Each structure stands twice: as structure tokens, then as C-alpha cells.
Amino acid sequence: MKLIRATDGEVDILVPWREEFISNPDARFMHGGVLAAIVDTAGSFATATRLGRPPQTIDMRVDYHSTARPGDFVARSRIIRMGRTIATADTEIFSLDNKLVASGRGTYLAAITDMSQLPRSASPPHKEDDPG
């Protein structure tokens, strides 16, 4: 993937075709999981333009509109809502002949700016952590 445009809350990403993307060798179309990963990545990058860091994905949905055949693609993503806790980004993936292949919406955690702010694990304490 190559970031080809980034502005406040928006990105365009070029996705060059790779043979590893193929789901069915006979039909030669891109696996839906690859398209979903592209939607997630583009939405995360768009959100990062505002946060200054990559966010964690909370939820995502993807709609598949047409078969993704061999060739390069462009993913265009933009933030549609930036809250204090959650950001929402919409992404569309187009073939280079401007055919809509897939679209999706992701929600991303925007609140935490420092990993040290994450809550401690709910796992039992280690022996050396046990005060008693």
C-alpha cells in the first residue's frame, strides 16, 4: 500500500495488485478479507491524520459491490465524525477505472493518547505483585 494523499481527516491509498490477494485461482478475484483489511487500514489512517497516531479499531462493516479482479485499486477514506472517544470513518475502494468494488465504515478509539492510560489487565496478580 502507498499513501498517495493525506489531508485533515482524509486519505487516499494506492493498493497495487498482488497475486496473494486471490481467493479463487480459477476465477482470479480478490479475497473479501483483503478488501476488509484495506477498509480498516484506510479508515485508521484517516483517523490518524487527526490523532497523530494510529487508533485501535472498535468495529467495522464492509459491503462488497463488485468483483475485485486483478489490477490496482485506490481506497478513499474520510472521517465522518470525530468525537472525544470514538471516531467514525467511511471508506470506498475503487478499481483504477473508477468502479466501486467495496465500501465500509469503521469506528476507532480516539480517547487514549498514551498507552500507559490503558487499564491494567484483569488477569490475577503475579506473586511478586501480591501485597499479602
Output the domain CATH number for residue 88. 3.10.129.10
Q: Once rounded to an integer, what is the mean pLDDT over residues 68-78?
A: 97
Number of separate domains in the chain:
1
What residues make up the domain containing 47? 2-113
> Would residue 126 count as lying in a domain?
no
Whether the predicted pLDDT of 75 surpasses 70: yes
Task: State the average pLDDT for the chain.
Answer: 89
> Would residue 100 count as lying in a domain?
yes
Residue 24 is predicted with a pLDDT of 86
> Would residue 118 count as lying in a domain?
no
Return d(Cα 77, Cα 45) in angstroms, integer. Answer: 8
> Would residue 128 count as lying in a domain?
no
Residue 34 is predicted with a pLDDT of 97
Phi (first) and psi of residue 57, to 5 degrees: -80, 130
Return d(Cα 5, Cα 7) in angstroms, integer. Answer: 7
Give the pLDDT band of residue 113 (cuts 50, 70, 90): low
Nearest partner of 105 among 46, 32, 48, judged by Cα: 46
Cell match 482524509: residue?
10
Are the C-beta atoms of 8 and 82 separated by less than 8 Å? no
> Would residue 22 count as lying in a domain?
yes
C-alpha grid cell, residue 59: 468495529
> Would residue 52 count as lying in a domain?
yes
> Would residue 67 count as lying in a domain?
yes
Lowest mean pLDDT among 1-5, 94-98, 104-108, 110-114: 110-114
Are the C-beta atoms of 53 and 44 separated by less than 8 Å? no
- Phi-psi map region of 71: left, alpha, beta (phi>0 left; psi -120 to 50 alpha): left
pLDDT tens digits, residue range 9-53? Answer: 999 999 999 999 998 889 899 999 999 999 999 999 999 999 999
Tally of CB atoms within 10 A around 79: 20
pLDDT tens digits, residue range 54-71? Answer: 999 999 999 999 999 999
> Would residue 119 count as lying in a domain?
no
